[in-house]
Amino acid sequence: MKKNIFLSILLVVITLASCADKKKKTEPEIKTVNTKAESETYTAAKTNAEFKDKKTASVFKQYIQLKTALVNTNAKKASQEALKLMTAFANVGVEDVALQAAQNIVESDDIKEQRTAFVTVTTEVEKMMEDALSSGTIYKQYCPMAFNNKGAYWLSESKDIMNPYFGDKMLKCGRVDAEIQ
């Protein structure tokens, strides 16, 4: 019986000693990870749309520049592009609601507020694009998840989805809902 107790104690000591050796030999591996991922800067695609009127073409061009700034989640650039869009709006003559929405983007440095105002800008620009093309296509795109799943539309120069309401968070979220020709 003394042998069994002695062997049991010896077995426990050997087990503890071998575990202790493993702890000493195994050190955690430390890796440095860059957590500041640099986001890609997106550019507008070349449009194949040809317009009947140069002023309407200018509005669409500035609208696309504003959309691209929102895709890039760049509030400062969005403000600058909205100011240029206001000038294009003034040259064409638009409803006050369009000018006010663009003005809201210009005056805000909050990307969420800018994206909210962009919905109204899109609605007004879409009205202008009806029967404005002499050739080519403008794509009306839709994200069902924008604004807490209420959804929102935007116009695009290409079929590729570049979501202005989410930017890099959900860049490809959306679908082509209609085509303006």
Whole-model pTM: value is 0.76
CA separation for the pair 137, 180 (Å, rounded): 6
The amino acid occupying position 68 is T
- Among 43-52, 98-107, 131-140, whose mean pLDDT is lowest? 43-52
Mean pLDDT of 88-115: 93
Q: Which helix (H) or strand (E) holds 170?
A: none
Say if residue 173's pLDDT is above 70. Answer: yes
